[in-house]
Chain A
Amino acid sequence: MPILRYFGSLLMLAVAVLASPTLDADSSPSEATPACTTLSSPDYYEIELVTTRKVPGARLAKGKGEVTYVASPFGISVSESGSFHINIDVSMSNVRLDDDKVLVAWITTPQLDQIRALGILDENLRVSGQTDFNKFLLVITLEPAEKEPGAMWTGPVVSRGMSRSGLMHTMAGHGPFESEPCAVYGY
């Protein structure tokens, strides 16, 4: 319901404005303005996790993978071969787990030829890890709590998402005046 979201945003904006401190006209910004708010990772590269709706307790799951650069003297970080070296901070919500189950985050190439466990989501349904895959899928699976993640997931896929770079695909078939979404005719 876009209209509800619109009014919700307006309401939040109004609350934020009312709650913000007022400034003296002659005060310098460094003294009077609030400390800088925490910035988030770039929205552009954020990975939206889409539920499979197949796992009981997680059919309405929401989640995302936030992407930042691994610390480096150069601002960004890349591997020796030039792949971007990134942190991925995974967070999930709307998930109810049985005591003997955990959620595990995995990073895999789109071809599934390389799979790495990012880690077990903690009690707050969060986990962080790193990768230097160029294109990858972020997969959340339901696994037995008593076992450490192995080389490959064993449980059902709860949620999954694709790196922004994964959206880049062949332009064959993209005629210059074709306006259909690529998904209509495949890519």
Chain B
Amino acid sequence: MYSYRFAGLLVLVASLFPVTQIRAQEMDHSMHMHHNHAMPMGDSLVWRMAPMDGMTMPMMPGMMDDIPDVGAFLPGFGMDVSMYPEARPSEIIDMADGDTLHMDASLVRRTINGKEYVMMAYGGMYPGPLIRADRGSKVVVEFTNNIDMPTTVHWHGLRLDNAYDGIPGLTQDPVETGESFTYELKFPDTGMYWYHPHMREDVQQDLGLYGNMLVDPTEEGYYAPVNREVPLILDDILVDANGLFPYGEEAPTHALMGRFGNIMLVNGITDYNLDIQAGDVVRFYLTNVANTRTFNVTFDGARIKVIADDVSKLEREQFVSSVIIAPAERYIVDVYFDEARTYTITNSIQAIDHFRGIFVPETHDLGTITATGATSEDHADAFAEARTNEDTIADIDTFRRYFDKAPDHNLRLTIETKDLHPMTMRMMEVDTLYFPPIEWNEGMPMMNWLSTGEEARWVLLDEDTGKKSMDINWQWEIGDVVKIRIFNDPSSFHPMNHPFHVHGQRFVVTHIDGVENRNMGWKDTTIIPVGSTVDILVDVSNPGRWMAHCHIAEHLHAGMMLGFEVHERGAGPQVGR
């Protein structure tokens, strides 16, 4: 590989430095083929240049001819796609206290935009079955692994018993192909949650292993009345003319920015449509399962009211013009469709074209909502009221006296690199004048694709001890109230937003850049914008060995995770209270 790079550099020097004025998307991909002699595994499994939809960035000689330092990999590759069962749309599984669900992960056939792919599914469905249960109930999931790689299931956001958190090497051994594992789930908090693998999420989750868990309230009138309740799982996937774009075998590719897809999916499909009646209020349960993309969701002018965060209702319902949702976050929103017309659900962003140095408005159509006729039950008045949720306020009140405490831990988010492509290093030095708080789009697809988890190590640095990532093992006790101050260092080699997820506990965001958050909800994942300092206050309530990490799949596998242990009261060092 280094000989290729050296050759590339020589070509570069010989070319007297001007960039090649070839638009990336116009390049002859066959010029990459001579580099792929080490991977003669079929037309769709050779590395070819990463799709660069809409990019104007000219390619550098020496870079356009390079490939990642890992093998190309696609699960189920080489098999006849027709031998796999066709996945079916998700079903709702209502589960009563004590019920058991038998669910597997398997390879399935999926059709996206008219093309068939070998993908993965829980229970043969896309998304996986929606598990619906009452708050306070417990259920069992008998899980069997029928995919061709080891996996586990993580029940994201649940404050469940530690043994069932699904973390390989920490709470369980990997579930090998053909093996089973029994998960016992409990649902202490009302809201929408989700489940996904915690091994090679960049592959398995991206290929369809995800599903929701809807925990219903047991109280009357917990939410305002609506006409419909609809889960919306947002995702994207990366394909080109040859099929699914391969993944890195030994380590993920796209380690700098995460793997952005170029096809948007809502509930696993590209042509999502919901038929409603004009005047309906629809409650959407939004979940972002994309590897790295943060969405800015709009409903074509329909009014949006945010009801709830990841793990609880907000203190006060709030009208918004769009919903910003980072990977792994959930929001519950009520939307009022007052007219009989078709509404387009969009992802509306200001993309960045780094070569031209400009912002480019982009709108991705995610789906449609067709409103006809007239509603059978008018909830417009209830929608117009932004309710104050006294139960959430009372719950958070217990913790309010800790909001201004000094941080117990100070984390710096940064990155270390080793042996990155020389052109990537050089271009990054040139392109360091501006990093946006949120990367809405993949502004540098080639450089991103070439960087793997072998060369880029994302770091959670404990500034109090100097320990990094999984060398961190914080010790807390039940009842502690722990403030973590998280600083996303803009001076790092490649600063980027990180959705920070804490396992097994819940937290509130108390401050962003010193500004107090005046409308909180309990969360398990929160976005840390570039340059920002975010204070979170953790309600330490669940014993065991847990982890916290960035939920960009490629960043997680490039090391951006830490450990912490929660002991019974009196069994460990006291931190809060």
Contact = CB atoms under 8 A, between A and B. Distances in A.
Contacts of A83: 350, 359
Given A28-B575, A175-B18, A75 B526 contact: yes
B357 A43 contact: no
B524 to A, nearest CB: 14
Contacts of A74: 320, 323-325, 331, 527
Given A42-B532, A168-B354, A35 B404 contact: yes
Given A81-B361, A176-B12, 10 more contacts: A45-B531, A69-B512, A69-B529, A76-B438, A78-B438, A80-B348, A84-B350, A169-B433, A171-B431, A178-B17
B323 A167 contact: no
B149 interface: no
B356 to A, nearest CB: 5
B440 interface: yes
B436 A176 contact: no
Interface string B236-271: 000000000000000000000000000000000000
B357 A171 contact: yes
A28 B574 contact: yes
The 3 closest A-B pairs by CB, nearest first: A39-B514, A44-B531, A42-B531
Contacts of A177: 17, 426
A81 B434 contact: no
Contact of A167 (B362, B433, B518): B433
B321 interface: yes
B385 interface: no
Contact of B357 (A38, A77, A164, A170): A170
16 contacts: A29-B405, A30-B481, A34-B406, A36-B535, A73-B331, A76-B324, A80-B321, A82-B322, A82-B349, A83-B350, A84-B436, A84-B438, A168-B433, A170-B357, A172-B355, A187-B357
Contact of A42 (B314, B402, B527, B533): B533
Nearest to B407: A36
Interface string B505-538: 0000101111101110100001101111111000
A72 to B, nearest CB: 7
Nearest to A170: B357
B322 A78 contact: yes
Contacts of A22: none
A165 interface: yes
Chain A interface category by residue count: 35 or more
Interface string A1-43: 0000000000000000000000000001110011110111111
A153 to B, nearest CB: 25
B518 to A, nearest CB: 6
Which secondary structure dominates chain A's binding surface? loop
Interface in B422-456: 423, 426-427, 430-431, 433-438, 440
A130 B42 CA distance: 55
Interface residues of B, number: 76
A71 interface: yes
B513 A39 contact: yes
Contacts of B362: 82
Interface string A146-165: 00000000000000000011
B423 A176 contact: yes
A168 B527 contact: no
Nearest to B306: A73
A44 B530 contact: yes
A68 B513 contact: yes
B357 A42 contact: no
A172 B21 CA distance: 10
Interface in A122-142: 134-135
A82 B427 CA distance: 26
A30 B577 CA distance: 7
B50 interface: no
A53 interface: no
A79 interface: yes
Contacts of B574: 28
B515 A71 contact: yes
B577 A171 contact: no
B532 A176 contact: no
Contacts of B320: 72-74
Interface in B517-571: 517-519, 521, 526-527, 529-535
Contact of B430 (A44, A69, A171): A171
A170 B431 CA distance: 10
A174 interface: yes
Contacts of A34: 406
A79 B321 contact: yes
Interface in A64-100: 68-69, 71-84
Interface in B378-431: 402, 404-408, 423, 426-427, 430-431
Contacts of A79: 321-322
Given A30-B481, A80-B298, A169-B433, A75 B406 contact: no
Interface string B284-299: 0000000000001010
A176 B532 CA distance: 30
B129 interface: no
